[in-house]
Structure 1
Amino acid sequence: MRPDFPLPDERIHRPHKLQALIEIMVGLGVDAAAALAGTGLRQSDFQRPETRISARQLLIFCENALRLSPRADLALRAGLAARITQFGIYGYALLCSPTAREAVTMATRYRALTAPLVGLEFVQHGEVVAWRFSDAYGLGEHTPLYRFVLEWQLGTQLALHRDVLGTDLRPLAVMVPYEAPAHAGDLSSLLGCPVQFASARSELQFDAVWLEWAPAQGNPATAMVVYETCERLLTEFKQARGMTSRLIAELLRVPGRFPSFEAIAVEWRMSSRTLRRRLAEEGNSNQQVLDKVRCQLALDYLRDTRLNNDEIAAALGFTEAANFRQAFRRWTGMPPSRARRP
């Protein structure tokens, strides 16, 4: 999991994305209770303004949708059906941005407000610009679940673009990391461009010329007010992430040099007992958080570097590679060798 993403069990997201998708599922004849099975949520929860959901609940729902939906292309169609008004103040910030470039800046800066399931960055290659996606929650780029959330994001990204810049906007190409699924032809047709499967990266590409366009509803004065509101909401969102996220950020500050629990408590001007209690209230312990950080760093090292097991063990604070291998099996259920990219 990326360190800038909320922990999977943090209930801090508004349920608008899940609500929109379940309405589509129900329209296809799927029972709402079955679609929500395992999430701990009921349809009536969506009517309560205080309802917040976690990324894990959203991912459980996506797994249910994969199993229950009669349409293999459900995720992409659901994304394309999204409307910018479903995204509240975030969507309004995009609509009133005075330029397309500024809309891109706002889209990336305040994206945490949208309950993201995939990583996202904006890149430019000469005359081509692209939204680049990444597997932020470590779902596995070739798994059906990641394919589902990525196609959902692809459709949503294109829908928001068209709401801001016009319905005639078409992408140049789409690249995804997984092999062509049975509904590959539907993907190309729905996106209106070629789709490259088994790609080394995931991108939604456009002609860079649209960066010079002005959104039809752009308004600099309104945008300034809306941006201030988004900034306040983002601050509140970060505060809501709680003690667990603060501890993860502290442990990741200097990877491989993990400060002691007591030292962190002293730095934060609280007793270690208070820190343990605050973590327990969020369903975690110091050891659980440390294990999560070590596990994610180990996955990053195994996938993205050529470090051997001895070097990774040392970087994670293990005295022996055998201890690291044993811990990695406990964390992931597999040996380190299986996590390495071919």
Structure 2
Amino acid sequence: MGHAERTTSAGWARAIVQALENSGLNAADLFADLGIEAAVLSDPDGRIPQDSMTRLWRRAVEISGNPAIGLNMAQTMRPGHFSVVGYAMMSSSTLLEGFGRVVRYQRILGESADLVLSVEPGFYRISFGIHGDRVPACAQSRDAAMAYALAFCRWMTAQHIRPLRATFDMPEPANLKPYTELFDCPLEFGASAHSLELARDLMEAPLASANPMLAQLHDRFAGDYLARFETDPITHQARQVLCRLLPQGEPKRQAVATAMKMSTRTLQRRLQEEGISFQQLLEKTRRELALQYLGQPKLTLFEIACLLGFADPSNFFRAFKRWFGLPPGQYREQVLLNERQSQSEDECQ
């Protein structure tokens, strides 16, 4: 009997495209060649089959000629790339708490991901495993996860964090320069796992961006997403369709059912079996996407209202205040204030 196809967050794919474009390469044809719908890049909760992701990494290496392209994630990725999980990380009181959230929600980031946080004498070890589905995962995916973790530490602390040691479960590459420049610490190749060793005082130090209220809010949404992802397949699939259709206006039940290749009656019955109605799912999807879109500074409130399928922006403002007790503009200021400050400090370094 075949097993269910494992998927990974499209955030990784968006970062690969950005890394290629930053190198002056055109990534537009890459998705078509691999049979991946380009529309997944604009879906905040888009998913890509794990094996397709592995093939994407391999093609990225081929067209760039750069075996260390996974390390480029340190320059292209921010916590917000992973929507609700990223925002929960940003709100954490310490790096240790932030990585604890990654461990808790890692299935959202990738069903084939295996991040382990362990306590060692004097330091914490973060080990990164990426398991293939039917195709063995490539080292670039583990490089990327490790580079992103280090970038997160540096971004959140506004410091040039140097790990105590970085290890890699692969032979030493011919060109060490990308690794020495990024990690700036002792390196060990041929190890049992990709891992970072980080000092305990660094991991346990308070973060200026800590916001317990927002962390709790984002934890709730991440927990809800994970629960649906694991136990409510029809709800999860319908939510993905809603995410795609909302920018075209408020989706009707018939449109969602058609996209899922089932009748309206079947969709309604299957959702009811999973304990939710179509209208409740639409409301929850809008509410969660609103938080994700507000974390993108380039989007105006009017544009966000349109992306959520509201014909009149005032309806969005009223709905958001009903959901969270404050206007969307005020929420955005609370979430992005620390982010803007951290970005300014990064640019000055």
Answer yes or no: same fold by TM over 0.5: yes
Find the counterpart in structure 1 of residue 185 from structure 2. 193
Correspondence 1:173 to 2:165:
yes
Write the mapping of 1:260-299 to structure 2, written as runs, cut at 5 A. none
SS at match of 1:53: strand
Correspondence 1:95 to 2:90:
yes
Sort the Cα spacing of 1:209 and 1:45 in 2 relative to 1 into closer, same or farther, 3 A.
Answer: closer
Q: Percent identity?
A: 19
Amino acid at match of 1:17: W
Find the counterpart in structure 1 of residue 65 from structure 2. 70
SS at match of 1:216: coil
Runs of 4+ in 1 over 6 A off after TM superposition: none
SS at match of 1:131: strand
Structure 1 Cα separation of the partners of residues 77 and 182 of structure 2: 14
Structure 2 Cα separation of the partners of residues 240 and 67 of structure 1: 38
Q: 1:106 deviation in Å? A: 1.2
Which blocks of at least 5 consecutive residues in structure 1 are unaligned?
1-6, 243-342
Once structures 1 and 2 are overlaid, which stretch shifts more, 38-47 or 201-210?
Answer: 38-47
Find the counterpart in structure 2 of residue 216 from structure 1. 208
TM-score, length of structure 2 as denominator length: 0.60
| Aligned mate of 2:103, from 102, 108, 111 | 108
SS at match of 2:48: coil
Find the counterpart in structure 2 of residue 60 from structure 1. 55
Find the counterpart in structure 2 of residue 150 from structure 1. 142
Q: 1:78 deviation in Å? A: 2.2
Write the mapping of 1:1-342 to structure 2, written as runs, cut at 5 A. 9-10=5-6, 13-48=8-43, 51-115=46-110, 117-137=112-132, 146-239=138-231
Structure 2 Cα separation of the partners of residues 109 and 236 of structure 1: 15
Sort the Cα spacing of 1:226 and 1:49 in 2 relative to 1 into closer, same or farther, 3 A.
Answer: closer
Count of aligned residue pairs for this structure pair: 233
Find the counterpart in structure 2 of residue 301 from structure 1. none
Sort the Cα spacing of 1:112 and 1:205 in 2 relative to 1 into closer, same or farther, 3 A.
Answer: same
Q: 1:152 deviation in Å? A: 1.0
TM-score, length of structure 1 as denominator length: 0.61
Please say if residues 38 and 60 of structure 1, whose CA atoms lie closer than 8 Å, have aligned partners that are also in contact.
Answer: no
Find the counterpart in structure 1 of residue 294 from structure 2. none
Residue by residue over 1:283-312, the C-alpha shift from the partner in whole angstroms, topping out at 9 and shown as x without a partner, is xxxxxxxxxxxxxxxxxxxxxxxxxxxxxx
Structure 1 Cα separation of the partners of residues 180 and 44 of structure 2: 38
Please say if residues 133 and 202 of structure 1, whose CA atoms lie closer than 8 Å, have aligned partners that are also in contact.
Answer: yes
Q: 1:116 deviation in Å? A: 5.7
Structure 2 Cα separation of the partners of residues 239 and 214 of structure 1: 35
Structure 2 Cα separation of the partners of residues 183 and 117 of structure 1: 28
Once structures 1 and 2 are overlaid, which stretch shifts more, 214-223 or 163-172?
Answer: 163-172
Q: 1:162 deviation in Å? A: 2.0
Q: 1:94 deviation in Å? A: 1.0
Structure 1 Cα separation of the partners of residues 224 and 122 of structure 2: 35
Structure 1 Cα separation of the partners of residues 47 and 134 of structure 2: 22
Structure 2 Cα separation of the partners of residues 154 and 201 of structure 1: 11
Structure 1 Cα separation of the partners of residues 224 and 40 of structure 2: 25
Structure 2 Cα separation of the partners of residues 116 and 168 of structure 1: 31
SS at match of 2:171: coil
Q: 1:53 deviation in Å? A: 1.8
Structure 2 Cα separation of the partners of residues 133 and 167 of structure 1: 23
Amino acid at match of 1:9: E
In angstroms, what is the RMSD of aligned CA positions? 2.7
Sort the Cα spacing of 1:44 and 1:232 in 2 relative to 1 into closer, same or farther, 3 A.
Answer: closer
SS at match of 1:234: helix
Find the counterpart in structure 2 of residue 318 from structure 1. none
Q: 1:109 deviation in Å? A: 0.3
